């Protein structure tokens, strides 16, 4: 589920108000991100062991089918998708067009909290899905290398910066 930049409690509140029946909420900042340090951005990768425990608590085993969704164009759901893929999960998907499309179609929603059946998730880290900063520096300007900045256009252009201070 979503939360607008700078309002991290909004996602949980939106989930408590309405979500797809049986859905379990995961918090980007508290569960899908590690501690902010010198490097790693605002949402660094969490510790692998911590992620496996978090996913297990959410009812995700290695054999589970996981459908991730949010209401922010897929930004949060994509992070969950990537984290699961990075840890070797095979059956993880994104809900096409997200929660808004679900509700616009009149599909059922609930305000009842989803209760996950705890499961065991064992990580098989896909190291090839991660690149270190030094490797990126070496690749900059190299033929065949494309670097993509996925921030919203006004932030990319430097027109607005709602939460990150200038360095």
104 within a domain of the structure (yes/no): yes
Q: Say if residues 11 and 1 touch (Cβ distance below 8 Å).
A: yes
Local structure of 152: helix, strand or coil: coil
* Inside any domain, residue 94: yes
- Report how far residue 133's alpha carbon sits from residue 71's, in angstroms, rounded to the nearest whole number: 30
Least confident of 38-52, 64-78, 132-146: 38-52
Among residues 32, 7, 11, the alpha carbon closest in space to that of 99 is found at 11
Q: Which pLDDT value is given to residue 2?
A: 40
Mean pLDDT of 21-37: 73
Task: Go through the chain and tell me how many residues it has.
Answer: 167
How far does Cα 91 stand from its chain's mean position?
Answer: 16
Q: What is the CATH number of the domain that holds 36?
A: 3.40.250.10
CA–CA dist 145, 78 (Å, integer): 22
Q: Which domain holds residue 70?
A: 10-127
| Tokens 């164009």 sit on residue | 73
Percentage of the residues of the chain whose pLDDT score is greater than 70? 81
Band of pLDDT at residue 122, cut at 50, 70 and 90: very high
Whether 157 is covered by a domain: the verdict is: no
Mean pLDDT, residues 103-110 taken together: 96
Instruction: With respect to residue 120, please indicate whether it lies within any of the assigned structural domains.
Output: yes
Number of domains in the chain: 1
Q: Of the given ranges (24-28, 48-52, 120-124, 147-151), which has the lowest mean pLDDT?
A: 24-28
Helices of type H across the chain = 10-17, 48-57, 75-86, 98-104, 133-139, 153-156
In a domain? residue 160: no
Query: Is position 1 within any domain?
Result: no
Sign of CA dihedral 138, 41, 87, 49: positive
Q: Is residue 46 part of a domain?
A: yes
Tell me whether residue 136 is in a domain: no
């Amino acid at each position: 589920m979503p939360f607008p930049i700078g309002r991290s409690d909004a996602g949980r509140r939106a989930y408590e108000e309405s979500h797809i029946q049986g859905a379990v909420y995961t918090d980007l900042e508290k569960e899908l991100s590690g501690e902010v340090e010198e490097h790693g951005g605002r949402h660094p990768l969490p510790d692998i062991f911590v992620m496996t425990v978090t996913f297990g608590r959410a009812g995700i085993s290695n054999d589970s089918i996981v459908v991730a969704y949010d209401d922010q164009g897929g930004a949060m759901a994509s992070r969950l998708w990537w984290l699961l893929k990075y840890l070797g999960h095979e059956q993880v998907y994104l809900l096409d067009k997200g929660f808004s499309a679900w509700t616009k179609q009149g599909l059922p929603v609930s305000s009842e909290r989803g209760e996950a059946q705890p499961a065991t998730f064992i990580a098989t880290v896909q190291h090839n899905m991660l690149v270190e900063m030094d490797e990126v520096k070496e690749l900059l300007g190299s033929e065949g290398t494309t670097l993509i900045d996925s921030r919203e256009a006004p932030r990319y252009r430097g027109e607005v910066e709602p939460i990150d201070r200038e360095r």
